[in-house]
Structure 1
Amino acid sequence: MPIALFGQRALARIDGADAAHFLDNLLTARTPAPGTARYAALLTPQGKIIADMFVYAVEEGFRLDVPADRLPDLLKRLTLYRLRAKVEIAALEGWRVGIAWNGAEPPAGVAAFADPRLPALGIRFLLPPGVAVAEDADEAAWQAHRVALGVPEGGRDFAYADAFPHEADMDQLHGIDFDKGCYVGQEIVSRMQHRGTARTRVVPFAVCGPAPAPGTAILAGGKTLGTVGSGVEGRVLALIRLDRLAEARESGLAIEADGVTLVPERLDWASFAIPGTGSAA
């Protein structure tokens, strides 16, 4: 029952009387109830993902769990949006984020939250400075678990400042609240939802041979369908044009990346159709 610590995650604190309202006005999902977590993103006004994150509601306020390389820009943007709100925004130095999965329990006495995207992803926990934990796995093992579940990760399966939330499957993974009030980029996200215009998605492919390297172009009949992202033995995730994938399947064309054949697979947690898998729209 594995436990691991993430090497490239960072934490920020958002505290103060206006913290909940402040985040609710900015992020794609509502702020969580005390003791719970939400998956959300801060977007550009054009609807592109600046950073996706986990928002944890703790006794003091909120904690944001983000990719470490996105934290400086996120803090800068949140500070610009603060204006006169009674909010304290700062990095949490020395804190680490861990994950327990496949039935493992997080360490006793630390703040812990079920992954709000999919329960099968495990339980995330926040480790204060100077507190040790007995790891019995490494992050790579959890990444393989994530890929097996078909769940995208920013910086690996979609590019920040370039992808829309629907392309990163955030609408399928509880990262967008379509009933909440306004937030940055909401108009674009709502339009994509109601018009069904998300032509590009991260989807899984079975690999018949060695997994192609991340960033490798996926081709069919000389036409580019998308690019390879995360991979493990026998499976990769890929950011793919669904309409071009449908054309390739209908035409009986082989789908390849660096000479390796790829076969689309269905996602049990997704409601959108993946051409060639028999999944329903």
Structure 2
Amino acid sequence: MSKQLFGYFKKLTSWSKHHHQRIHSSTKKNLRCLEQLENRSLLQVKGTDVSNFLQGLITNDMRHFDDVAVGNIYAIFLNTKGRVLFDTIIYKIPEDNCYLIECDKSLIDQLRRHLMIYKLRKKVDISFVDEIKIWSMFDVNFKLDTTNDLVKTSLTKQLYSLNENHVDKSDDVVIYKDPRIHDLCHRILTKSSIKKHDIIKKLDPVISIDNNDTSSSYKEFRYKLGIGEGADDLPPGKPLPLEANCDYLHGISFHKGCYIGQELTARTHHTGIVRKRLMPLTFDQVPQVELNYDDNIVDDNDKSIGKLRGHVGQHGLGLMRIIESVNAKTIKLANLLVNTKKPYWWPLESRTEKINLANK
């Protein structure tokens, strides 16, 4: 198994030139943070039936991989009631009929059991992958300002297109674009022996890595963007995929065939009524009191308009009532002032907002 996995990286060196992309856009130095995601792990799923097998289990469409420019996709596994079990990134690798599935490390055993339940007699082999590390590389200087707010988009013209999802590669380091939104930058897969300085050597000279320990963590960076990930933010069996913004993050296909949990997801999408979504929270100061998952968030009338999902420093994530949150004069959590707004990467106008406003 170990030798076979190490061989993936050698194969990626000669993989289709359609995947290759330099990861810079100008001659200016780009300061990035490089962090190993120790809370994420991988499963290998392979076999002649693997594509059809996954097609019936995930919210996204495996046929995206028919495009040689697509290296990975964001996908959700739902339960039969249409609630999120596992948020994943599925990676295409050079070996035929073989994919790597990234998932929260604490849920990787449950994901394997989930896959085994539906495997039945399909020609699919499912195994753990311990020999590969997962890294995130993101923009240290990213700021939520008016410039970012101007790059809003519509559902028909997404900010980040699947056909832009190229991959850069070497013998032992594989760099993918994050398939969700552009500002999440890159996911990097490496052999377990690879260290941070080894990755830096592989990067383009215009990329500069910040080694300051006080820089933003990946989790805090996600919270700034308003993006949930893993068991802490998306506890298995609780969130609905549209409330977790999986549709806005390119994780749901509304044009594919049936999959587990599809009925409620499709019905909610087509009615256009999604009153609550994950939204970023910004505290006026770093909280000095303990805050817990599901803590109540209230408006100026002490009416509940949301629930806390997590926080790091001055940034947090909440499941918020959209219209009430946007219209609230002040928002408080445990008597702390909190600010929130619709993330810039949401569609410019959604049917949800129009319907809710019309019904007010």
Range into which the TM-score falls when normalised by the shorter chain: 0.7 to 0.9
Taking the TM superposition and a 5 Å limit, the aligned residue runs for 1:25-36 are: 25-31=56-62, 32-33=64-65, 36=71
Taking the TM superposition and a 5 Å limit, the aligned residue runs for 1:81-230 are: 81-102=118-139, 108-109=170-171, 110-134=173-197, 136=211, 141-211=217-287, 213-215=291-293, 216-220=295-299, 221-230=301-310
Q: How big is the shift at 1:55?
A: 0.3
Counterpart contact for 1:157–1:228, Cα < 8 Å: no
Instruction: Give yes or no for the alignment of 1:4 onto 2:67.
Output: no
Secondary structure of 1:152's counterpart equals coil
**Amino acid in structure 2 at the alignment position of 1:58:** I
Q: How big is the shift at 1:106?
A: 7.7
Count of residue pairs the alignment pairs up = 270
Indicate the residue corresponding to 2:17 in structure 1.
none
Change (3 A) 1:152 1:13: same
Q: How big is the shift at 1:244?
A: 4.5
Q: How big is the shift at 1:67?
A: 0.2
Counterpart contact for 1:4–1:137, Cα < 8 Å: no
Compare the two structures and name the one with the higher helix fraction: 2
Q: Deviations over 1:60-79 (max 9, x none)?
A: 21000000011111100101
Change (3 A) 1:234 1:93: closer
Counterpart contact for 2:45–2:99, Cα < 8 Å: yes
Q: How big is the shift at 1:222?
A: 3.1
Counterpart contact for 1:228–1:239, Cα < 8 Å: yes
Q: Which runs of 5+ in 1 are unaligned?
A: 276-281
**Amino acid in structure 2 at the alignment position of 1:237:** L
Instruction: Give yes or no for the alignment of 1:39 onto 2:77.
Output: no
Counterpart contact for 2:133–2:191, Cα < 8 Å: yes
Q: How big is the shift at 1:7?
A: 1.3
Q: How big is the shift at 1:214?
A: 4.2
Secondary structure of 1:268's counterpart equals coil
Of the three residues 44, 51, 57, the one matched with 1:20 is 51
Q: How big is the shift at 1:171?
A: 0.6
Whichever of the two has the greater Rg, that structure is: 2
Q: Which runs of 5+ in 2 are unaligned?
A: 1-31, 141-166, 200-210, 354-360
Q: How big is the shift at 1:120?
A: 1.4
Q: Deviations over 1:20-39 (max 9, x none)?
A: 11111110001242561000
Counterpart contact for 2:224–2:281, Cα < 8 Å: no
Of the three residues 74, 83, 87, the one matched with 1:48 is 83
Decide which moves more: 257-266 or 209-218.
209-218
Q: How big is the shift at 1:137?
A: 6.5
Change (3 A) 1:140 1:70: farther
Q: Deviations over 1:230-273 (max 9, x none)?
A: 43454322111235436x62xx5x32101111222231111266
Secondary structure of 1:262's counterpart equals strand
The answer to which structure, 1 or 2, has the higher relative contact order (CA under 8 A, 6+ apart) is 2
Of the three residues 259, 268, 276, the one matched with 2:344 is 268
TM-score, scaled to structure 2: 0.68
Deviation >6 Å, runs of 4+: none
Q: Deviations over 1:79-126 (max 9, x none)?
A: 1101111111111123221122239x9884323211000121121122
Q: How big is the shift at 1:207?
A: 2.1
> Aligned partners of 1:223, 1:171: CA distance in 2, in Å?
28
> Aligned partners of 1:137, 1:175: CA distance in 2, in Å?
33
Indicate the residue corresponding to 2:100 in structure 1.
63
Counterpart contact for 2:76–2:84, Cα < 8 Å: yes
Change (3 A) 1:137 1:167: farther
Q: How big is the shift at 1:148?
A: 2.1
Secondary structure of 1:222's counterpart equals coil
Q: How much is the aligned-residue C-alpha RMSD, in angstroms?
A: 2.6
Q: How big is the shift at 1:157?
A: 3.1
Indicate the residue corresponding to 2:322 in structure 1.
242
Sequence identity (%): 25
Change (3 A) 1:121 1:137: farther
**Amino acid in structure 2 at the alignment position of 1:5:** Q
